[in-house]
Amino acid sequence: MDATPGSCLVHRSILVSASTDAAQLFRNVLEPIASNVYFSPEVNDAFETLGFGPGVSAPGCLTIAEPSGYYCSRAACMGQVPGDVVVAAFGVFNPKLIVPAVERGWSIAGADDVLAAREQGAIASLQRMLGDPSELAEVTAVLQRAAEAGTTAGRFLYAGLRSLDTPEHPMGAFWRAVDMIREHRGDSHLAAWIAAGLDPVEIGLMTEIYYDMPTKRYHRSRGWTDADLDVGLERLRDRGLVTEGAPAELTSRGRELRETIEAATDTQQEPILEAIGADFDRLVATIGPWSMAIVEGGGFPTSVEQIPPSWGRLD
């Protein structure tokens, strides 16, 4: 999960309305399928078997994988890499949060075991919610064609996923292709905001404001403290990207920059969308309802309020 707008939040209207922007629509359709792995009891059980802690929950919230399990399981596709490298690849998390949590994670289980648990849990979770859809093989073939059309240079999680063998289970193969496309977009987004000269606190705050999310709430879950966020807001004010006063709004320049970054992210997905070509509408019409079924089945949050407030907090 990165600072892709609403990446943890998919609103029903996005799925049912015909978006004019294929890249945006595609992201919203894929996100619950790819990221159910972070909100899945089957995955959390598999991690507990390895020795990680239980999933984290709170009243009115979904249960999310415990932080070390989340970070290590998402990073393991790159190999058993040090925490500093995980920080670099994830992009939006506070290094003070990630580095010790990754070190702890690798002391509990190795990368190969974590990957196997993640895959096994993801398959079981998606099967529970989606059953055994008859279109699965056809859809997977299109998604695999798309997933292989991405570019690895500068895209670390996508490159890591590309290095793995395709799961033998049909649901696993489907999920892997979706996860590859998702991480390709996340990596592209990171390259776009890095290239725009922003840091994770700045892009995070701009994203929250742009999408009318409660300020600071989402990015607290990335290990940034109130103090970090206040200083970041001040930097954005100094650069004329947000207004004075509370709540801060994006200035027209800030809005323009945020939209430029999103457009640059979309543009980087062109090889993937080109590989889907004429199959796009049918693909989205088929898997859109699967995505909604995951959201409605509590397998992916519809709002930031559904993420346990203590998760990923440093303060």
Partner 1 sequence: MSDAWSEQIARSRALSIALEPVVGSVYFAPEAHEAYAELGFGPSPGVAAGNVWAASHWGGVQLPDGVAYFASRGGILGQVRGEVVAAAFGVFNPDAVVASIQMAWSITDADRVVESRTRGAVAQLERILGVEPEGIARVTELLDRAVAPLSTIGRPMFAGLSGLPMPETAVGRMWRLGDMLREFRGDAHIAAAADAGFDGCQLQVLTERAAQMPPRSYAAGRAWSADQLAAAEDELRGRGLLDSDAVSDRGWDARQSLEADTDRLCGAMVRALGDDVIELIGRLQPWGAAVRSAHGYYPSSPQEAVLDSRVQEWMQRQGRASFTGASS
* Footprint of partner 1 (CB under 8 A): 77-85, 87-89, 91-92, 95, 151-156, 158-160, 162-163, 187-188, 190-192, 194-195, 197, 199-200, 264, 267-268, 270
Instruction: Please report how close the Cβ of residue 95 comes to partner 1 at its closest, in angstroms.
Output: 6
Instruction: Please report how close the Cβ of residue 17 comes to partner 1 at its closest, in angstroms.
Output: 29
Judged by CB, which is closer to partner 1: 27, or 184? 184
Instruction: Please report how close the Cβ of residue 111 comes to partner 1 at its closest, in angstroms.
Output: 8
Judged by CB, which is closer to partner 1: 200, or 308? 200
Angle at 90 between CA 243 and CA 86, to 5 degrees: 140
- 48 within 8 A of 84, measured Cβ to Cβ: no
Phi, psi torsion values for 77, nearest 5 degrees: -60, -25
Instruction: Please report how close the Cβ of residue 190 comes to partner 1 at its closest, in angstroms.
Output: 5
Strand-pair partners of 64: 56
Judged by CB, which is closer to partner 1: 42, or 202? 202
Contacts of 137 (CB under 8 A, 6+ apart): 170
Contacts of 281 (CB under 8 A, 6+ apart): none
Judged by CB, which is closer to partner 1: 154, or 297? 154
Judged by CB, which is closer to partner 1: 127, or 151? 151
Instruction: Please report how close the Cβ of residue 65 comes to partner 1 at its closest, in angstroms.
Output: 22
Q: How far apart are CA 221 and CA 211, in angstroms?
A: 17
Instruction: Tell me which amino acid residue 283 is.
Output: L
Q: How many CB atoms lie within 10 A of CB 207?
A: 24
Instruction: Tell me which amino acid residue 24 is.
Output: Q
